A and B are shown apart, each in its own frame.
Chain A
Amino acid sequence: MTEYWQEISALTMRWVRRLSREKFSMLFTLVQPMLFWLIFFGNLFQRAADTQVTQAPNYISFLAAGVVVMTVLNNGLAGGVDLLFDKENGFLERLMSAPIRRSSVILSRFIFVMTITSLQVLVILGVAFLFGVEPATGLLGVAVILLIGMMFGVGLTAISMAMAFSVKSHGDFFSVLGFLSLPMIFLSSALVPLAAMPGWMSFLARFNPMTWAIDAVRPLILSGWSDALPHVAMVIPVMVVFDAICLYGGAKAFRRAMG
Chain B
Amino acid sequence: MERAVAIEVNRLSKAYGTHQAVSDLSFHVYAGEIFGLLGPNGAGKSTTLRTLITLLHPTSGTASIFGHDTVREADTVRRLIGYVPQERAIDRFLTGREHLQLLSALYHLTKEEAAQRINELLKLVDLEAHADRPAKTYSGGMKRKLDIACGLLPDPKVLFLDEPTLGLDVQSRLRIWEYVRMLKARGLTVVMTTNYLDEADQLCDRLAIIDGGRIKALGSPTELKVALGGDIVSLTIKETDRIPGLESALAGQPTIKTVRATGNGLDIRVESPEKALPIILETANRLGCGIEFIEYHRPRLDDVFIAHTGRRITDTAEQPVE
Contact in complex: A93, B55 (CB < 8 Å): yes
Interface centre among B53, B78, B108 (most CB of A within 10 A): B108
Secondary structure class of chain B's binding surface, majority of residues: loop
Report Cα–Cα, A97/B55, bound state, in Å. 7
Does B106 have its Cβ within 8 Å of any Cβ on chain A? Answer: yes
Name the residue on A nearest B89 (C-beta).
A90
Does B182 have its Cβ within 8 Å of any Cβ on chain A? Answer: no
Contact in complex: B89, A6 (CB < 8 Å): no
Q: Which residues of B contact A9 (CB under 8 A)?
A: 105
Does B91 have its Cβ within 8 Å of any Cβ on chain A? Answer: yes
Name the residue on B nearest A258 (C-beta).
B55
Name the residue on B nearest A105 (C-beta).
B106
Which of B83, B87, B106, B150 is close to A10, meaning CB atoms less than 8 Å apart? Answer: B106
Contact in complex: B85, A93 (CB < 8 Å): yes
Q: Quick one: which of B262-295 are within 8 Å of A by CB?
A: none
Secondary structure class of chain A's binding surface, majority of residues: helix
Q: Which residues of A contact B78 (CB under 8 A)?
A: 97-99
Contact in complex: B107, A96 (CB < 8 Å): no
Report Cα–Cα, A73/B103, bound state, in Å. 32
Name the residue on B nearest A94 (C-beta).
B89
Instruction: Map CB proximity to B onto A84-99 as digits: 1 under 8 Å, 0 otherwise.
Output: 0000011101111111
Within the complex, the shortest CB–CB distance from B154 to chain A, in Å, comes to: 7
- Give the contact stretch, choosing among A16-24, A57-65, A195-203: A16-24
Instruction: Map CB proximity to A onto B75-108 as digits: 1 under 8 Å, 0 otherwise.
Output: 1001101010111111101100010011101111
Q: Which residues of A contact B94 (CB under 8 A)?
A: 14, 17-18, 21
Does A237 have its Cβ within 8 Å of any Cβ on chain B? Answer: no
Instruction: Map CB proximity to B onto A3-18 as digits: 1 under 8 Å, 0 otherwise.
Output: 1001101110110011
Does B300 have its Cβ within 8 Å of any Cβ on chain A? Answer: no
Q: List 30 A-B contacts (CB under 8 A).
A: A3-B108, A7-B108, A10-B102, A10-B106, A11-B102, A11-B106, A13-B102, A14-B91, A14-B94, A17-B93, A17-B98, A18-B93, A18-B94, A21-B93, A89-B89, A90-B85, A90-B88, A90-B89, A91-B90, A93-B55, A94-B103, A97-B54, A97-B78, A98-B103, A98-B154, A99-B75, A99-B106, A100-B106, A104-B106, A259-B55
